[in-house]
Structure 1
Amino acid sequence: MTTFIFDVLKDLQSNNENLSELTFVLPSKRAGLFLKHQLTKVTKQTIFSPHIISIEEFVEDLSELKSISNTELLFEFYTAYIKLTKKSEADTFESFSKWAQILLQDFNEIDRYLIPQKNIFDYLSAIQDLNHWSLENDKTEFVKNYLSFWNKLHNYYTQFTEQLINKKIGYQGLIYREAVNNLESYIQFNTERQHVFLGFNALNTSEETIIQELLKNDLAKIYWDIDAVFINNQKHDAALFTRQHKNNWTFFKDNSFNWITTNYSKEKNISVFGIPKNIGQAKYIGTLLNNLQKDNQSLQNTAVVLGDENLLVPVLNSLPSGIEALNVTMGFPLKSIPIASLFESLFHLHKTPSNTFYFKDVINIISHQLIRPLFNIEGIDFATKIIETIDANNLVYLTAERLKLLANNSEDLIDLLFSNWSQSVREALENCSQLILRIKNYLDDEKDSNLLSLEYLFRFNELFNEVFRLNTEYHHIKDISTLYSVFKELLSSETLDFQGEPLQGLQIMGMLESRVLDFETVIISSVNEGILPSGKTNNSFIPFDVKIENNLPTYKEKDAVYTYHFYRLLQRAKNVYILYNTEADILTGGEKSRFIAQLELEGVHQINHQIIAPHVPVIQTSLNVVKKTNSILAELKEVAHKGFSPSSLTNYIRNPIDFYYQKILKIKEHTNVEETVAANTLGTVVHNTLEDFYKPLVGTLISVEIIKNLKTDIAKTVTRHFTDVYKEGDVTRGKNLIIFEIAKRYVSNFLDLEIKELKAGNQIKIMAIEANNNVVIEIPELDFPVTITGKVDRVDEFNGVIRIIDYKTGSVEQSHVEIIDWESMTTDYSKYSKSFQVLTYVYMMFKSNQIQLPVEAGIISFKNLGKGFLKFSKKDKAGAYAKKDTLITQETLDNFYKELKQLVLEICNSDIPFTEKET
């Protein structure tokens, strides 16, 4: 396969051109590197290398202006803006940057296409004046300011461009305009210099003017790369610009048009694959490359072209291991580097000045992979210490002083991360630089394993140095919020360049990097509408019709640019693989590109179109089963000796595997910070408050007067217990204040219920509060003792009948404490767990001789206080008319004991494994 560059060099050689004396101008620097490489194939003797430059470099030389970054342009533009705007009316730099970006793009287009500036800005101002009721005498301040902005556009442009030219710097459009202005002088002083322009397609007016003037003065040659299939079809957008140049340039009326080729019509293997999701495309690219290697095809002349450059990282992670040489022309986006997340978190934390920091933000920062090692001092992990203290004390917000106390050997690191940021932007930037230095010193100790991290760190050090330089020169960043905006702007545009051999191995590139280059095998991803081509986007202050009137490019021309690049990749290729996303997506679209439909309809090539579905293995879901080994049985005996609680037994009924995790493996749930008071915390507070109230009344007949006196202490006692249980959590505002009031209301309502019962003539005697029980149950089948342990919330005597009462802050209905048949009690957790619990309490108290039968047992639900005491009952059948027996007798306990014994035997049976239940 011969390439376009090789054909151009051969043509020049056949015309006896001295290659060493030529100046080659190409669309990109990368194309120049390939041209230099091709020189060795057309020359058989040693020669001096010709001058090879990109069009941007050539125009920059012509203009005598230096191109600067987009971020620095914003700073320069803001300087011009505040000179022309009253201080009281001027936007902040942060607000300015949002609309100034768009205006800079418009300035760029106006200059590149040599549009008379005053005319178009006056035109835009007049349009806005008409649109906003200029005939009305009394305009609102908003309308006045709006129209004033449009009237000042030309002044902004003039002040801005003069300012740049005086500094010998500029943006692309201004550089092009100045290059055209200097063209005549350049021609006069370079009469012997021959230029060769090759591989161009869409030219702006400045480029057209420069090239045509050089052609007219016999100082240039130009080579186009267009196929006959495209240029002969008047409706084919791949040749839209080339046809215009061929038909409109006067030079081609008397000179030949080089070249129209016939490469596209040659036989090709074109396959189109529809693949769900972007990650699916990345994985399939790896599969394609692996298949090419298996077929013994060299990847030396293979290119992976990413329509969506966000696929770079997934594609790199999907490459087969056998690839030895690889060149990536796109830079690795800085926003994807791990250290970016650290500074994102820091700026997010400090952009709003505050003396306290949200605990999740603090944990996020100190747990970062590059920060956590810095807290490890003399073997003590202070990061863990801080996190554990936050959890243990329920700290939702922390101060820098509190953090210093927790990390007493890391005060300087706490200062870098959390202090001094609000004092000044300069201080914040110095903190960032010092932090980078601290991380570097740590990484230097293990340099061999951290070379990549050091490279990341160096790139971010450069980025902050650039921000520091810009702010030192322009002084536009006044606060951390603005600094954050500038940081994000740089982060989104800056990259870390890959180091590789650009002429060897597999090439991974974006669509624009493929200009002028030819490959035998091409894989193109993300060929979807909205990506290739990008579609109708108009990020501009200039309306569509005004663009058309002034010959400025619209979305149609931009689509035609991508059409050309897409088809040019196919021209000389032999094997083409086109991938698109089949899944509809609101942002990126799901429809396959019109390019694919066009390929299928034009009929030049046979297209192999397939929909690829990822291989999804059938994973048989199996329940977790743990066999009872000797060590587990030994641990079970220990648990049985210490005591099974009613909640642990019901936990086994609910799911045996949870019982195994909690009682055998001793795995506890991690205690997280409660931003909002949890249900169990509310329950604990209510239980503890009632314990305080009723503990002194044990053995006493309570009275209305006693209960009324208790009501006066509700607020004080609830507050104290919230402090004990909720630690340093705040219950003075938001949802927590509501829950705090609910806790007081629960206690108050319960006391009101007591008063109501007493006023109705009922006699209530408190017998026990939070009564601890620890009893051994007789199970002859086991050769070790089994203990049941638990704490009963309340035991009282109600009109001579003993009641065992369990408090529940959640909602409980009467049906939750009723059973029909005893066998279901240990199998159906959802229906009978509460009945099992209260009967366990009765059984324990009876066995420990604390009560005499018969008794009543049940639940008082604070969410269902209106139903009063919900008594356990045994029903003879289902239905509303079933007979209920609420008294717990010896027979009741005998029946319960059988089920309890059966449950404990199952838990301790070595032949019955802990088996997970389906949920």
Structure 2
Amino acid sequence: MTSFLTTVIKDLLKTNDSLSNLTFILPSKRAGAFLRREISSQIIKPEFSPAIISIEEFTEQVSGLATVDNTTTLFEFYSVYKNCTPAEETEEFENFSSWAQTLIHDFNEIDRYLIPQEKIFNYLADIQDITHWSLAKEKTDIVKNYLAFWKKLPVYYRDLQKNLIQNAVGYQGMVYREAAEKIAEFAGENATAHVFVGFNALNNAEQRIFQTMLEKGARVYWDLDEVHFRDKEHDAGLFLREYAATWPYYDKNRFEILSNNYSLEKEIEIIGIPKQIGQAKYVGELLESLPPGDLDNTALVLGDETLLLPVLNSIPNNIPALNITMGYPLKYSNFSLLFEKMFEFFKNEDGRYYYKDVISVLSNPIIQRISRDRCRKVIAAIKNENLLYLSPQQIQQLFRDPVPEAVKLIFPSSSPPPRQAIENILLLISHIKESLNEEQDALNLEFLYRYRQVALQLEELLKKYPHIKSINALHHFYNEISSLHALDFQGKPFQGLQLMGMLESRVLDFETVILTSVDEGTLPAGKSNNSFIPFELKKTFGLPTYKEKDAVYTYHFYHLLQRAKKVYLLHNTDTEGSMGGEKSRFLLQLELEKQMRHKISTTVITPKVKHTQDQLQEVEKTPEVMEMIREIAGRGFSPSALTTYIRNPLDFYLQYILKIRDKEEVEETVAFNTLGTVVHKTLEEFYGQLKDKQLTLEDIEAFRKATTAEVKRQFTLEYSSAPLSKGKNLLIFEVARRYVLNFLKMESNALQGGSEVFIKEVEANLSTSLDIPELDFPVNIRGNVDRVDIHNDVLRIIDYKTGKVEQPQLEICNWDDIITDYDKFSKPFQVLMYATMLLENRSGGPQVEAGVISFKNLKQGFLKFAKKEHSRDRNKNYNIDPEVLENFKVQLKYLIKEICDPKIPFLEKEIKNAYGTY
């Protein structure tokens, strides 16, 4: 393959003994190193290197103006805006910047394309006058002000340029226009020493510069293939065909096309892969399959540059050298989220920080190092105490003395002004730097240095321009400035694999090309209109529209393929993306306009999913496990432990043998079990006062009045001190309060109906031993019963349930089912365990009933355990008599013997839910 740069240098050496006195102008600085290498490889005798500059640097030389960035232009524009606008009509800088950046973009385009500014601004004002929303003959003040704004555009434009020229600077378009006006004078002196290489889409200012320089003897080398130039419909040659047809220079001189490579033999693989990460992984497989000798002439081009990090993580070990021409963005550093959260904290005016934001900062490895891992204890305390919103004072109290200085800087006691915010960031950077080691933390120190540059740049802007008065505005410019900073990779630029973005590929050629993200919406990027100038007006004045932007993408795409021999084009097949998995139109065009010698194949890659058959787990009872079971039996099996075993023996093993509990997390929305606990604790607080006493209407009325306060108190104890006055928590608080009030109303109705209730026990701790001769160790059962009372001479054992329970769920026909079917019989199992413990040594007394009060089914009242002979039997025995207890104890002992039998392993059960087995 003969590259474009090789062809250019060879052609120049035919007419120049030395290239030292030439100045090469390139589309960007990136290709300069490759051009310098090409020159050194072709010259015979030693000589000085020629000057190699970008087109931006060339326009600065010609115009005498230095280019300033958009941020500086915006600040200068605000000064102009305030001078041109009455004080009472002047917007704050934050509001101003929201529309001024779009206007600066339009100014830039108007200048780059040498549009008569007065004419286009008048057109724009007239359009707004025609299309405004008011239909009244007499214009309102709002409409008048709106139209006045458009009529002021020429004034804004003129005064902004005047301000910038006084400082010998300008935004890009302004520099281009100035260069276009001065190019004739410049070209008369030394045009023949200039060579323009590899350009395609030129704005009008550049066209005037090129034409003038051409007329005076400069050389221009275009890089376009004959195929695309001759095809009048192909967008890759859209711009160069126009120049060949319209530039006066080419009326007399031949338009030279240096390439005829596109139609040569090529292997092109179009590969569809689901998701962006899938493409990154497949890139690694492709690189691994390439011969090592091919890597020096291989380019990996990222159509979507956000793939940089996944691709870097997918580079295989067989890549000996890698040159990355893209910068490593600051957003990938350990500090990105930290500084982003700091700005959020600075903007927080109520002085309380959301726990997730606090934890995300305290989890940062750099902050943990500064605090010497004290952050871990603070995070644990936040979760244990269920703190949803924390004040700076609370955070400092959790750290205790001495509070790390970094924590004070990150969590200010009040929203600081912009200058104080920058000072906090700079102080934090200093603290972090002191804690880092130069050898071990070289990368982090480099990132930290870049963030310090960003902060210092913001500080200079604050000193020079008094416009930034809010943290929101400061945050906006922090994001804009930090997005321009990146870490440059170090490497050998001409060895190994070249990893780059689309724009870095300009002027360069490779035999093997891997291009990712060839998707509609990425290549090309699609329609976007960040402009105040309507489409029709752009067409009228020759400003670029999405048609020209698409043609730019088309040129870059086909330029990559132009001299390549092997091409891999990867696109996303995932239908969940913004474009629904639609591959780029470029790929369709490749297939439809296939060249005779091109071999194009289309493949869809799907990840290999290994089929694994789920097997139920089985855990043998080792001597150590048996020792734990004996310990549990000695303390006492609880109803929840035994029902857990019935539901799934493996869960019993995990929770009670291994003691694995759910991970402690902050309960942001009140969980259902917390709701149940609050209701239980509230009733315990009320009815605990009445133990061994008669329940009266006066008691219930007193409880009713105290309900709201008591429920709030229990939520504070069981959940968090966070307010329950909004959101889901307000609804859940109201549910708990209603549960208690409805329960009290049910009790009141019963008393008013003539019932008598005597409270015997509230949240009583019960326990008893079981005689199981087959086991050589003591076995106990224990539990807490919610309430025991005597209701109209009937002893009732009551279990509260905040969920919904129906009467059939407490009825049983076959005793064997009570220890095998958790879903149907867990509730009768529990109440019978309470009855067994309570009545173990009882002889005589009133009739006994055991059951449930369901807060979601209070209309049914007390739901009683019942024994039936068969499912349709209407005759039910509600009495907990000795026969019932004896039959239950038989099943209970059988269950405990199974748990304690070393020969029976813990077998996992298939658990069914509404969606199937899990």
**Alignment TM-score, normalising by the size of structure 2:** 0.95
Deviation at 1:711, TM superposition (A): 3.9
The equivalent position to 2:895 in structure 1, one of 861, 880, 903, is 903
1:301 is aligned to 2:297? yes
Query: Is residue 822 of structure 2 the alignment partner of residue 823 of structure 1?
Result: no
Identity %: 51
SS of the aligned residue for 2:128 comes to: helix
Q: What is the 5 A alignment of 1:210-221?
A: 210-218=209-217, 220-221=218-219
User: Aligned AA for 1:405?
Assistant: Q
Which whole-Å CA distance do the structure 2 matches of 1:388 and 1:583 have between them?
A: 40
Structure 1 residues 416 and 848: alpha-carbon distance in aligned structure 2, compared to 1, 3 A threshold: farther
Partner of 2:342: 346
Contact 1:421 1:428 in 2 (8 A): no
Paired residue for 2:25? 25
**CA distance in 2 between partners of 1:530 and 1:314 (Å):** 20
- The answer for the alignment partner of 1:688 in structure 2 is 681
Deviates more, 1:143-152 or 1:321-330: 143-152
1:844 matched to 2:840? The reply is no
Task: Tell me the alpha carbon deviations over residues 94-115 of structure 1, each in whole angstroms, 9 at most, x when there is no partner.
Answer: 3322222222221111111111
* Maintained 8 Å contact 1:382/1:406: no
Q: What residue in structure 1 maps to residue 289 of structure 2?
A: 291
What is the 5 A alignment of 1:342-381?
342-376=338-372, 381=373
Distance change in 2, residues 1:630/1:2 (3 Å): same
Query: Could you tell me which residue of structure 1 aligns to residue 141 of structure 2?
Result: 141
What CA deviation, in whole Å up to 9, does each residue of 1:851-896 have, x standing for no partner? Answer: 85852100111222111100011222224x5432211222212221
Aligned to 1:414: 407
- Cα drift, residue 360 of structure 1: 2.3
Evaluate the alpha carbon distance shift between residue 670 and residue 531 of structure 1 in structure 2; reply closer, same or farther with a 3 A threshold.
closer
Give distance in 2, aligned partners of 1:299 and 1:93: 51
Moved more, 116-125 or 739-748: 739-748
Q: Is the 8 A contact 1:777 1:788 kept in 2?
A: yes
> Could you tell me how far apart the structure 1 residues matched to 2:755 and 2:581 are?
73
**Partners of 1:739 and 1:905 in 2: how far apart?**
42
Contact 2:60 2:175 in 1 (8 A): yes
Match of 1:562 among 548, 553, 564: 553
The letter of the residue matching 1:68 is V
Corresponding residue for 1:182?
Answer: 182
- The structure-2 alpha-carbon separation of the partners of 1:560 and 1:914, relative to structure 1 and needing over 3 Å to count, comes to same
Letter in 2 for 1:197: F
Answer yes or no: is 1:700 the counterpart of 2:696: no
The answer for the alignment partner of 2:909 in structure 1 is: 917
Cα contact 2:262–2:562 (8 A) shared by 1: yes
1:476 maps to what in 2? 467
Mark the CA change 1:185 to 1:346 in structure 2 (over 3 Å): closer, same or farther. same
Q: Does 1:660 align with 2:660?
A: no
Look up the match of 2:252: 254
Q: In terms of mean alpha carbon deviation, does 813-822 or 581-590 score higher?
A: 581-590
Q: What do the CA deviations read for 1:495-530 (whole angstroms, capped 9, x no partner)?
A: 222222222211111111111101010111111222
Q: Which moved more, 1:350-359 or 1:107-116?
A: 350-359
Amino acid at match of 1:273: I
Cα deviation, 1:589-613, whole Å, max 9, x if unaligned, reads 5222221112112231221111111
* 2:327 equivalent to 1:334: no
Structure 1 pair 26–742 and aligned structure 2 pair: CA distance change class (3 A): closer
Structure 1 residue 733, shift from structure 2 partner: 5.0
2:220 aligned to which of 196, 219, 222? 222
Indicate if the aligned counterparts of 1:702 and 1:765 stay in contact, CA closer than 8 A: yes
Q: What RMSD in Å do the two structures reach over aligned CA positions?
A: 2.1
Could you say if the C-alpha distance between residues 534 and 395 of structure 1 is closer, same or farther in structure 2, counting changes exceeding 3 Å? closer
Which residue of 1 is the match for residue 242 of structure 2? 244
Contact 2:272 2:605 in 1 (8 A): yes
Change in 2 beyond 3 A, CA 1:143/1:365: same
2:269 counterpart of 1:276: no
Q: Provide the aligned length of Structure 1 versus Structure 2.
A: 908
Give the deviation of 1:351 after TM superposition.
Answer: 1.4
CA deviation after TM superposition for structure 1 residue 122, in Å: 0.8
Deviation at 1:689, TM superposition (A): 3.0
Contact 2:267 2:565 in 1 (8 A): yes
The answer as to whether partners of 1:215 and 1:221 remain within 8 angstroms in 2 is yes
| Counterpart for residue 886 of structure 1 | 878
Q: What secondary structure is seen at the aligned counterpart in 1 of 2:494?
A: coil
Residues 851/607 of structure 1: CA separation in 2 closer, same or farther (3 Å cut): farther
Corresponding position: 1:545 with 2:547: no
Displacement after TM superposition at 1:162 (Å): 1.4
Per-residue deviation, 1:273 = 0.8
Shift of 1:848: 4.5
Decide whether the 8 Å contact of 1:674 with 1:729 is kept in 2: no
Cα 1:184–1:682 change in 2 (3 A) is same
Gaps of 5+ in 2: 912-918
CA drift of 1:149 comes to 2.1
* Counterpart amino acid of residue 50 in structure 2: P
SS in 1 for 2:294: coil
Structure-2 change in CA distance of 1:73 and 1:815 (3 Å):
farther
User: Which residue number in structure 1 is paired with residue 208 of structure 2?
Assistant: 209
Give unmatched runs, 5+ long, in structure 1: none
1:835 matched to 2:828: yes
1:652/1:658 contact within 8 Å kept: yes
Matches of 2:480 and 2:575 in 1, distance apart?
Answer: 29
Mark the CA change 1:851 to 1:127 in structure 2 (over 3 Å): closer, same or farther: farther
Match of 2:775 in 1: 782
Once the two structures are TM-superposed, the CA of residue 802 in structure 1 deviates from its matched residue by 1.4
2:447 is the counterpart of 1:456: yes
Q: What per-residue deviation string (whole Å, max 9, x for no partner) do you get for residues 544-602 of structure 1? A: 11111111111111111111111111111111111111223453552222211121122
Once the two structures are superposed, what CA deviation does each residue of 1:124-160 show, in whole Å capped at 9, x if it has no partner? 1111111126884322333223222211211111111
- 1:856 pairs, out of 849, 856, 866, with 849
Supply the distance in 2 between the matched residues of 1:562 and 1:668 (Cα, whole angstroms).
56
Contact 1:854 1:890 in 2 (8 A): no
Map 1:711-722; keep pairs closer than 5 Å: 711-722=704-715
1:865 equivalent in structure 2: 858
The match for 1:397 is 389
The one-letter amino acid paired with 2:129 is D
Structure 1 residues 160 and 584: CA distance shift in structure 2, 3 A: farther
Match of 1:132 in 2: 132
Structure 1 residues 359 and 602 mapped into 2: Cα distance closer, same or farther (>3 Å)? closer
Residue deviations 1:356-382 (CA, integer Å, cap 9, x gap): 222222222222222122222xxxx43
Report the Cα offset of residue 850 of structure 1: 8.6
Contact 1:675 1:729 survives alignment (8 Å): no
**2:2 alignment counterpart:** 2
Partners of 1:805 and 1:859 within 8 A in 2: yes
Q: Report if aligned partners of 1:640, 1:786 keep a CA contact under 8 Å in 2.
A: yes
Cα distance in 1 for partners of 2:408, 2:702 equals 52
Tell whether the 8 Å contact from 2:114 to 2:177 is kept in structure 1 after alignment: yes
Q: Match of 1:728, as an amino acid?
A: S
Contact 2:788 2:796 survives alignment (8 Å): yes
| SS state at 2:52 partner | strand
The separation in 2 between residues aligned to 1:728 and 1:29, in whole angstroms, is: 59
CA–CA separation in structure 2 for the residues paired with 1:223 and 1:719:
80
After superposition, residues 562-601 of structure 1 pair within 5 angstroms as 562-601=553-592
2:656, 2:239 → 1: CA distance? Answer: 76
Q: Letter of the 2:798 partner, please give it.
A: I
Q: CA deviation at 1:428?
A: 0.7
Paired residue secondary structure (1:606):
strand
Q: Aligned ranges for residues 36-47 of structure 1 at < 5 Å?
A: 36-47=36-47
Distance change (3 Å), C-alpha of 1:60 and 1:846: same
| Distance of aligned partners of 1:913 and 1:297 in 2 relative to their CA distance in 1, 3 Å threshold | farther
CA contact (8 A) 2:108 2:171 kept: yes
CA contact 1:876–1:882 (8 Å) conserved in 2: no
Task: Give the alignment's TM-score, normalised by structure 1.
Answer: 0.95
The residue type equivalent to 2:769 in the other structure is V
1:498 to 489, 495, 498: 489
What SS does the corresponding residue of 1:884 show, helix, strand or coil? Answer: coil
